[in-house]
Structure 1
Amino acid sequence: MLAVHAGAGGNSGRTITGNGSNPKLNNAYIALQAWKSAIKDDPKGILNSWVGSNVCTYKGVFCADSSVSGTTVAGIDLNHGGIEGILVKELSLLKDMSLLHLNSNRFSGTIPDSLKDLFALTELDLSNNQFSGSFPTITLQIPNLLYLDLRFNLFSGPIPDSVFNKNLDAILLNNNNFDGQIPQNLATSPASVINLANNKFTGDIPISFGYSSPGLREILFLNNQLTGCIPQGIGLWSDLQVFDVSFNSLMGHLPDSVSCLEDIEVLNLAHNQLSGELPDLVCELKSLMNLSVAYNFFSGFSQECAKLYGRNVDFDFALNCIPGRQMQRPEPECDMIPGGSLSCLRIPSMKSLSCGSLLKSLNSSNP
């Protein structure tokens, strides 16, 4: 049985002197004081309360009481503190900490290798800071981590295959300077949310995309430098709700297997070089709330797509090559369709596609 309580922001309450009878709190005191000494600026005075040995009264520190192991630090939340400093190796002393939330501060440098010893840590939020260097692979060695948020930092270089092998539920890597190709094992990830937006990834979306368990709810590739086709296997993610590949250089026709995305709410394909007709099967998706195909080279759509407005679906098809529609590209731009010779893997006779047999069809299409 655990009882969780947070620091009150001062030294009110019972004072623990030395914590000699509680080695976990004594280690927490050592860790937090070492960290405090590495802080350069604390504009909101959050760490003013980090005085004395009773760490459970420190602002942003959450303690838990256990009848088995006594009182221990269970989490730290310093979100939106504007704190400037670095992370210190002594944080590994917080063996029972399950969450570390440092969103919207000014922490910089790299992630200490010692963090791999945080066996209880399940949530690590380092977003909106100034961390830099290559992908912090040490975070993937934290044994029980489920939530990894590295958004809005200065990380650069490729991301390792191992990020998609780890049992993570959320992988949030957007708004960094990651580059190179997206690892081919993307589809092996059990995550429900994957955000790779606003980086510098190049190459194709991995061909295995979609060949995995259907637990993915959101995947965002927007604003990278991706090329090639949208893989046919996208249709296997029957639980997908958000799919955003806008602001890339994808070409070819939209696969009809998109029609298998029965739960899709946001489908953003804008600002690419996609062509062909927008399939009826896509516009018939019942859960659609937002469909954007603007700034592509689509040549038409049928009455089913025209009915989207009556369903209160936000449908944007501006700047394409659709005859008789307003706000389309000038005719000269439509004379040369980008990627006209691009060969994408497609299942023949997709008009009568049965989503239940999609996996079988895909397997038979591959040697």
Structure 2
Amino acid sequence: MADLSGGLGGDCDPSEEDEDPTDRETREAMRLGTGSGVETGEKGSFETRGDTVLGVLAVEDEAGGGRAGGGSHGEEGGGEGLRLLTTGEKSSMPEEIAGVEAARRLREESAVGLKGTLPAALSLLSHLTFLHLNSNRLAGAVPDTLGDLQYLTELDLSNNLFSGPFPAATLLIPSLVYLDLRFNGFSGELPDEVFAKNLDALFLNNNQFEGQIPETLWSSPATVITLANNRLTGPVPTAYGYGGRVRELLFLNNKLTGCVPEALGFLPYIEVLDLSNNLLSGHLPSTLSCLSGIEVLNIAHNQFTGELPELVCDLRRITNLSVSFNFFSGISQDCDRLAGRNVFDFAGNCVPGRGMQRPQPECDDAPGDVGLSCLRIPGSRPVACAEAAVSIGIGVTFGGPLPLGLSGGGAGVTVTVP
């Protein structure tokens, strides 16, 4: 952990010609503020009033090259701009931060470790667009004032010690497109609004979130959604919107139950889907054959039964298919071909005559369907993945194929073609 209370340098010749330009620029930058809270001392040192120094942060302009604050100093190019000492045992920050209206980027210096709590005064950086404070020892709750950062587009608080419920303040940041809260101690249920927000990337893995995944999941425009390594329970949401742009969807290492919904096969851009290490069961839907762009499909360590659909092994771009440690009772020749290319892992199942399978007593006790209420398209014919819009049941809509064997007019089933 960085200790800056003793200064950033040692004794030296104070003459201007021998002074390190970085230290000179740092002291000049500190004078851009209001002139209280942090004072400059000898070369390379700062004296603080009050709280314990946490670390050195860099504030850059929007282009990442000029100096925040404007004036002749702001016209100098290259390098990092304003350097600020943040203090935080009492959740305070130097008052100079209020005078830095041009600040655009705030990120942790690689050599500095920060601890304490996140100060509410961060909201005074009203023009901040990037806030990356990952891989420190910041703890406590995320202050509500963070919601005042109306220009913030990226927030990375990952790999810290934050706790408490999902930080609702992040939902109030209008420009936010990247949210990374992974590897913390956040807990409680996920709010519906998090998936309704206009995010491109959402990292919530490795926390202690619990409860069910909100149905609004399918409304998210994010390309990456990671909910892995939490305590989430209940089924994978069955409601389906337009499929969004999601390319990576990670649910591994939770306690999800029920079956894989049909609509999961109608994610038009999905490349990585990981449902491993849950309690999912039943049969896999044939709609998974519509995942034409998928490269990684991992459903290992669940309770799936029946024969592995041949269509799953026919996926054209698949490079990693793992169905290990389930209760599958059969695989097709197409799956055998994948196994020969070291692309397919089916160890720990109940396939007769194959090596590395479960003991027969375990297979005899394989979980049954137990009345699972999954939507299942009737018939065993291949799903025809073509352009259409199908509504199943309670307004569950997905863009993609009109499956063969499915027609409109049935109980609870409507079909619309735009």
What TM-score do the two structures reach when normalised by structure 2?
A: 0.73
Q: For residue 24 of structure 2, what is the amino acid of its counterpart?
A: N
Match of 1:355 in 2: 385
Aligned to 1:207: 238
Give 1:313 deviation, angstroms: 4.9
Matched, 1:56 2:81: yes
Matches within 5 A, 1:5-84: 10-12=23-25, 15=28, 18-19=31-32, 26=33, 40=52, 42=54, 46=56, 56-58=81-83, 72-78=102-108, 81-84=112-115
Aligned pairs (5 A) from 1:255-266: 255-266=285-296
- Displacement of 1:205 in angstroms is 0.6
How far did 1:359 drift? 4.2
Gaps of 5+ in 1: 1-7, 20-25, 62-69
Q: Deviations over 1:69-114 (max 9, x none)?
A: x982111111654211211121111111110001100001111111
Instruction: Output aligned runs, 1:118-133, within 5 Å.
Output: 118-133=149-164
Question: What residue number does 2:321 align with?
Answer: 291
Paired with 1:219 and 1:27, the residues of 2 have a C-alpha distance of 47
Q: How many angstroms apart in 2 are the aligned matches of 1:244 and 1:140?
A: 26
Q: What letter is aligned with 2:313?
A: C
Aligned residue identity for 2:378: P
Which digits, 9 at most, give the CA deviation of each residue in 1:274-320, with x for residues without a partner? 0111111111111111100000000111111111145x452110010
Aligned to 1:218: 248
Q: Quickly say closer, same or farther: Cα 1:252–1:29, change in 2 above 3 A.
A: farther
Aligned equivalents of 1:288, 1:79: Cα separation in 2 = 40
Residue by residue over 1:174-224, the C-alpha shift from the partner in whole angstroms, topping out at 9 and shown as x without a partner, is 00010011111111111111100000001111111x532341101111000
- Given candidates 212, 215, 220, the residue that maps to 1:189 is 220
What does residue range 249-328 of structure 1 map to in structure 2 within 5 Å?
249-310=279-340, 312-328=341-357
Would you say the 8 A contact 2:158–2:180 is kept in 1?
yes
Question: Retained in 2: the 8 A contact 1:60–1:78?
Answer: no
AA at the equivalent of 2:214: P
Task: Identify the residue that residue 8 of structure 2 maps to in structure 1.
Answer: none
Instruction: Choose the corresponding residue for 1:345, options 355, 375, 394.
Output: 375
What do residues 106-145 of structure 1 show as CA deviations (whole Å, max 9, x unaligned)?
0011111111111110000000000001111111101110
Kindly report which structure 2 residues correspond to 1:157-196, keeping only aligned pairs within 5 A, or say none: 157-196=188-227
Q: CA deviation at 1:9?
A: 6.0
- Between Structure 1 and Structure 2, the one with more helix by share is 1
Q: Distance in 2 between matches of 1:129 and 1:39?
A: 21
- The question of whether the paired residues in 2 share the 8 Å contact of 1:86 and 1:108 is answered with yes
In structure 2, relative to structure 1, the CA distance for the partners of 1:281 and 1:95 (3 Å cut) is same
| Residue of structure 1 in register with 2:403 after alignment | none
- 2:178 corresponds to which residue? 147
Give the whole-Å Cα distance in 1 for the aligned partners of 2:49 and 2:271: 45
Write the distance in 1 (CA, Å) between the matches of 2:37 and 2:53: 20
Question: C-alpha root-mean-square deviation of aligned residues, in Å?
Answer: 3.1
Shift of 1:29: 9.0
Contact 1:236 1:358 in 2 (8 A): no
Q: Give me the whole-angstrom Cα distance separating, in 2, the residues matched to 1:152 and 1:195.
A: 12
> Does structure 1 residue 248 correspond to structure 2 residue 273?
no
Q: Secondary structure at the match of 2:197?
A: coil
Over 3 Å counting, the alpha-carbon distance change for 1:200 and 1:29 in structure 2 is farther
Unaligned runs of 5+ in 2: 1-20, 41-47, 60-68, 74-79, 87-99, 398-407, 414-418
8 A contact 2:58–2:108 mirrored in 1: no
Aligned length: 337
Q: What displacement does 1:30 show?
A: 7.4
* SS of alignment partner, residue 156 of structure 1: strand
C-alpha contact 1:30 1:90 (8 A) present in aligned 2: no
Counterpart of 2:278, as a letter, is N
Task: Indicate if the aligned counterparts of 1:174 and 1:199 stay in contact, CA closer than 8 A.
Answer: yes
1:231 is matched with: 261
Helix, strand or coil at the partner of 2:122:
helix
Bigger Cα Rg:
2
Q: Given the superposition, is the C-alpha separation of residues 17 and 60 from structure 1 closer, same or farther in structure 2, using an over 3 Å criterion? A: closer
Cα distance in 2, alignment partners of residues 101 and 331 from structure 1: 52
Q: Structure 2: how far apart are the matches of 1:78 and 1:284?
A: 46
Q: Compared with structure 1, are the counterparts of its residues 284 and 358 closer, same or farther at alpha carbon in structure 2 (3 Å cutoff)?
A: farther
| AA partner of residue 12 (structure 1) | E
- 8 Å Cα contact 2:325/2:347 also seen in 1: yes
Looking at structure 2, the residues matched to 235 and 18 of structure 1 have their Cα atoms a distance apart, in angstroms, of 58
With structure 1 as the length reference, what TM-score do the two structures score? 0.83
Q: 1:39 to 1:202 in 2, by over 3 A?
A: farther
Mapped to 2, the partners of 1:38 and 1:291 lie a distance apart of: 57
One-letter amino acid of the structure 2 residue matched with residue 339 of structure 1: G
Which whole-Å CA distance do the structure 2 matches of 1:190 and 1:220 have between them? 15
